[in-house]
Amino acid sequence: MKKKIVIDLPLNTENCRSKAMQIAVRSAGVISVNVDKEKGHLVVIGVGVNFFRLMKCIRKKFSCSSIVSLEDVKQEKPATPKKPICSSPKCPPICGQYYPVCQPVYDTYNPTCTIM
């Protein structure tokens, strides 16, 4: 099950953002890491992510960090298969391979050629 972890961090500089993202990416099971610059949140999405270990690693660098939310990510439903264009049973099957038609090329022999 995918989990979405939102962590509040003081992400004032670009160096802080990159360091927080590096720490989160090293954690096992992380699929994606995003930074919400407006709110100052680090959003981590992953499968089987141990948020306790993640927070322990982040708090070594950012002591005033805290978890804002921890929620399950809903899986998207697979797309429905498309119906064939022709619905009547008399439609011929569409061939996936194309074989070009070969035509012979005739070369006329000119006996007046002096090079040969």
Q: Could you tell me which residues come within 8 angstroms of residue 23 by beta carbon, excluding any fewer than 6 positions away?
A: 57, 58, 61
Identify which of 52, 16, 54 has the alpha carbon closest to the alpha carbon of residue 35.
16
Instruction: Quote the pTM value.
Output: 0.60
pLDDT digits (tens, 9 = 90+) for 23-40: 888 888 899 999 888 888
Residue recorded with tokens 């979405």: 4
Of 62-66, 72-76, 90-94, the one with minimum mean pLDDT is 90-94
Pick the CATH number of 2-73 from 2.60.40.420, 3.40.47.10, 3.30.70.100, 1.20.1050.10: 3.30.70.100
Q: How confident is residue 51, by pLDDT bands cut at 50, 70 and 90?
A: confident
Say how far apart CA 58 and CA 56 lie, in whole Å: 6
Averaged pLDDT for residues 10-21? 85
